[in-house]
Amino acid sequence: MKNFRVRLPWVVLTAAVLVAGCSGGTSSSYGNSGSSNPAPSTPTPSPSPAPAPTPPPASGQPPTPTPSGQAYYFSDCQDDAHPDCVPGNNVNPGTDPAAPKRDLAGFNLNGLPAGSQVLFARGGTWTNFSAFVYNLNATASEPIFFDSYSPPWGGSARPRLRAGATFYGFQFGGTYGNTVVDGGYVVRNLKLEGVGAAGSWGVFIGSATRSIFIEHMEITNFAIAIHMQNGSGDGNRGVTIRHNDIALNTSMGILGDALDLVIEGNTFRNNNYVTGSGFEHAIYLGGHGTNGVVRGNVFVDNSVVGGVCTGGNLTVHGQWDGLLIENNLITQAASDGGCYGISINSAYDTAEWFRNLVVRGNTIVNLGNCSICLTSAPGAIVENNVIVNTQNRYHAAILIPDRTPQAGDDLDSGAIVRNNSIYLTQPSAGDAIRLTAGAGSNLQVVSNLIYFGAGASSTHSCFAHPAYANFAAFDNNLCHHAGGNGRWSASYATLANAQAAGFDIDGLSSDPLTVVPSNTNDWSMALAAGSPAIGAAHPTLSATQDKLSVPRTDPDIGAFERQ
């Protein structure tokens, strides 16, 4: 009954997740009153904020250690293994690829010396696979490796490890609540496949576990592909998850937390496809973490049921300090309100914050209520993102705050929203950049490019904003309505009205002449020759590089610097 005992905490965690309220937030009822503009007030002199350079990456990309120890070979030929598959025999020592062992039965994984390699034959298939890995010999520089090898009979496909009745494929680091530091571990080049069981996990990382690399895996048909528990005290540190294909897991792709977490270059496809629950997401970071990176991942059709996304994509709650979310691509064909893009919001009863947060260079297409939705993220930098929405629905491309913080949660202030390019063809309502009173003070909104299509209804605005005094800078934005309707902001009908109140003195309202973003041009909103946005961005407060990492000279409005 060991497994049953281990599973209980997951029930507790799930309960915590379910009260989190991930899918709260902006209703779809927002609209402009259409009332007359307030009388222009004397503009408050804008302070001169110091330029905030684009921060360097929050974390390096740790190299994967090189194998140094004894290799053990395994070959099994269940189910749909390669037709020429030759099974091994567990009486073999397993140190010769020509005479492998068959499976892990009787093999003492946790007695292996540091640096040992456990290698599975390409083209082979195992059933009822599970590996409990808690090896106190392993070190960060000499981890235990789980990898593939090319067998003499010619198999080439990733070794297929089909999980059985146990709830995990790999469990690293001890059982739930373990406090003994162990690791490192490397698991790569394998196909890890569940049987669709509720509560099943492809990889579980218990607490106090270090230096874990999960690379070039395919992880599919579990409830959760990768589940981490940072725990209290000495948590998980150094978890690198990169270049994996995480698809068709019934609940989530990644759930949990770690210190020094890197999630990079993965593809998340069609996870949370059974219920599309608003509490389940392709990536759900909860708990607490420092120095996290979510970079260059592709999210396709997650949380979709019946062709419509109803749940989350990349969601963060809890306490995070130093989180960099950059160059990710999130696309949906169609979304309802509960389908969030990058949602970083307080949502628990406990104190929450998202400090030193950077959200940059992401591309987000056809999400629901909001594409980038932040709460309790003081000083957040949101730059060089491209947000496209062609749906006829309410949408806020960038929303701060998304909800009202609760007791103990950080209050928002000091956000920098700059050089984003936003393309909304037919919203029924909404604002491209929506900052409400809860966004606080000392805000910067500069050099953003906003294009509303001719099909937009009249109840949309480029901005919603608190009083001008709340801004350290609000200037050099471009707000264009191709259909001639809509408003500059909820407060001011036109750019001229806004300028009379001090906003966007160097702003523009003419056609930015961008490329029309589509999936065939990687959702580019590059500037065409003659664009009024060229050289019209804020000279000192713009992002220092553009979305493609081109240094800005005589900065251009939007995410793309004209070459």
Q: How far is the CB of 229 from Ca ion (least distance, A)?
A: 10
Q: How far is the CB of 180 from Ca ion (least distance, A)?
A: 5
* Spatial distance between the Cα atoms of 226 and 242, rounded to a whole number of angstroms: 12
Residue 173 found at the interface with Ca ion (CB under 5 A): yes
* Token pair of 210 as six digits: 């270090």
* Token pair of 391 as six digits: 């749906």
Query: Is residue 141 a contact partner of residue 183, using CB atoms and an 8 Å limit?
Result: no
Q: How far is the CB of 168 from Ca ion (least distance, A)?
A: 15
Residue 182 found at the interface with Ca ion (CB under 5 A): yes
Nearest to Ca ion of 147, 409 (CB atom): 409
Q: Which one of the spans 142-150, 190-198, 207-215, 302-310 is the region binding Ca ion (CB under 5 A)?
A: 207-215
Judged by CB under 5 A, the residue of 209, 220, 313, 419 near Ca ion is 209
Nearest to Ca ion of 212, 397 (CB atom): 212
* Spatial distance between the Cα atoms of 104 and 100, rounded to a whole number of angstroms: 11
Q: Which one of the spans 38-46, 61-69, 173-181, 378-386 is the region binding Ca ion (CB under 5 A)?
A: 173-181
Q: Which one of the spans 2-10, 37-45, 170-178, 417-425 is the region binding Ca ion (CB under 5 A)?
A: 170-178
**C-alpha 34, offset from chain centre:** 36
* Spatial distance between the Cα atoms of 253 and 60, rounded to a whole number of angstroms: 23
User: What is the pattern of x (binds Ca ion, CB under 5 A) and - over residues 263-292?
Assistant: ------------------------------
Judged by CB under 5 A, the residue of 201, 223, 556, 560 near Ca ion is 556
* Beta carbons within 8 Å of 555's beta carbon, 6+ residues apart: 419, 447, 535, 537, 538, 539, 542, 543, 561
Q: How far is the CB of 453 from Ca ion (least distance, A)?
A: 26
Site for Ca ion in 407-466 (CB under 5 A): 409
Residue 319 found at the interface with Ca ion (CB under 5 A): no
DSSP state of 14: H
Where do runs of H (alpha helix) occur along 475-541? 495-500
Judged by CB under 5 A, the residue of 79, 80, 84, 554 near Ca ion is 554
- Residue 224 CB: number of other CB atoms within 10 A? 29
* Token pair of 197 as six digits: 């069981």
Residue 84 found at the interface with Ca ion (CB under 5 A): no
Query: Is residue 363 a contact partner of residue 330, using CB atoms and an 8 Å limit?
Result: yes
* Beta carbons within 8 Å of 288's beta carbon, 6+ residues apart: 230, 235, 257, 318, 319, 320
Nearest to Ca ion of 98, 136 (CB atom): 136
Q: Which one of the spans 25-33, 225-233, 238-246, 349-357 is the region binding Ca ion (CB under 5 A)?
A: 349-357
Q: How far is the CB of 236 from Ca ion (least distance, A)?
A: 8
* Token pair of 546 as six digits: 């553009």
Q: How far is the CB of 555 from Ca ion (least distance, A)?
A: 6
- Residue 413 CB: number of other CB atoms within 10 A? 17
Name residue 319's amino acid.
Q
Nearest to Ca ion of 136, 437 (CB atom): 136
Distances (CA, A) of 382 to 134, 376, 460, 496, 543: 40, 14, 21, 26, 10
Residue 169 found at the interface with Ca ion (CB under 5 A): no
* Spatial distance between the Cα atoms of 351 and 69, rounded to a whole number of angstroms: 45
Judged by CB under 5 A, the residue of 193, 215, 245, 352 near Ca ion is 352
Q: How far is the CB of 537 from Ca ion (least distance, A)?
A: 8
Q: Which one of the spans 178-186, 194-202, 486-494, 508-516 is the region binding Ca ion (CB under 5 A)?
A: 178-186
Residue 315 found at the interface with Ca ion (CB under 5 A): no
Q: Which one of the spans 92-100, 157-165, 348-356, 459-467 is the region binding Ca ion (CB under 5 A)?
A: 348-356
Q: How far is the CB of 66 from Ca ion (least distance, A)?
A: 24
522: phi > 0 → left, psi -120 to 50 → alpha, else beta; which?
left
Judged by CB under 5 A, the residue of 28, 46, 78, 178 near Ca ion is 178
Instruction: At 521, give phi and psi (nearest 5°).
Output: -120, 25
* Token pair of 90 as six digits: 């567990």
Tell me whether strands 201-205 and 144-149 are parallel, antiparallel or unpaired: unpaired
Q: Which one of the spans 98-106, 205-213, 286-294, 330-338 is the region binding Ca ion (CB under 5 A)?
A: 205-213
Q: How far is the CB of 217 from Ca ion (least distance, A)?
A: 21
Q: How far is the CB of 444 from Ca ion (least distance, A)?
A: 19
Q: Which one of the spans 2-10, 136-144, 300-308, 550-558 is the region binding Ca ion (CB under 5 A)?
A: 550-558
Q: b vs e for 364-386, b when ≥16 Cβ sit within 10 Å of the residue's Cβ? A: bbbbbbbbbbbbbbbbbbbbbbb
Q: How far is the CB of 87 from Ca ion (least distance, A)?
A: 33
* Token pair of 460 as six digits: 């949309």
Residue 406 found at the interface with Ca ion (CB under 5 A): yes
Give yes or no for a cis peptide into 106 (omega within 30° of 0): no
Q: How far is the CB of 9 from Ca ion (least distance, A)?
A: 14
Residue 174 found at the interface with Ca ion (CB under 5 A): yes
Tell me whether strands 370-374 and 396-400 are parallel, antiparallel or unpaired: parallel
Nearest to Ca ion of 205, 464 (CB atom): 205
Query: Is residue 209 a contact partner of residue 236, using CB atoms and an 8 Å limit?
Result: yes
Residue 208 found at the interface with Ca ion (CB under 5 A): yes
Q: How far is the CB of 187 from Ca ion (least distance, A)?
A: 16
DSSP state of 467: -
Residue 375 found at the interface with Ca ion (CB under 5 A): no
Which residues sit at the interface with Ca ion, rule CB under 5 A?
A: 173-174, 178, 182, 208-209, 346, 348, 352, 406, 409, 554, 556
